[in-house]
């Protein structure tokens, strides 16, 4: 199930990033584009982390692999936006927002692991 969730979320983010006219969210906070990027890539990192933890690798490696996966998806989609003729364009600020969402998940996972390892 985690692999299906990861594939579905990756496909959804790809469609939202590459479609000429993605749906708009009419909400004060959720409507902010960079917040949407950070939130989307935080969820992608969580989904990837859950999937990669099922592999026979250490938990730290799974989460770092998830972060790299999410960063590659984000970077790849920005490159594709720059190459497409759909009216979309690549934006470094979008990639920074993606990376901040990924980093937030890594910090939360590290904090949670630290708290659970304390006596």
Contacts of 76-79 spanning 24+ positions with Cβ under 8 A: 77/13, 77/14, 77/17, 77/18, 78/17
Whole-model pTM over 0.85: yes
**70-82 per-position pLDDT tens digit:** 999 999 999 999 9
Separation between Cα atoms, residue 60 and residue 75, nearest integer Å: 22
**81-117 per-position pLDDT tens digit:** 999 988 888 999 999 999 999 999 999 999 988 877 7
- Contact partners, residue 12, CB within 8 Å, separation at least 6: none
Q: Domain coordinates of the chain in residue numbers?
A: 2-17+30-117
């Amino acid at each position: 199930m985690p692999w299906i969730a990861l594939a579905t979320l990756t496909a959804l983010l790809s469609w939202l990033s590459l479609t000429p006219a993605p749906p708009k969210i009419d909400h004060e906070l959720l409507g902010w584009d960079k917040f949407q990027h950070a939130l989307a890539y935080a969820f992608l990192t969580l989904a990837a982390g859950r999937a990669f933890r099922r592999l026979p690798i250490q938990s730290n490696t799974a989460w770092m692999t998830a972060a790299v996966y999410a960063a590659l998806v984000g970077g790849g989609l920005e490159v594709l936006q720059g190459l497409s003729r759909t009216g979309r364009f690549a934006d470094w600020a979008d990639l920074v927002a993606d990376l901040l969402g990924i980093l937030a998940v890594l910090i939360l996972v590290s904090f949670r692991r630290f708290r659970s390892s304390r006596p």
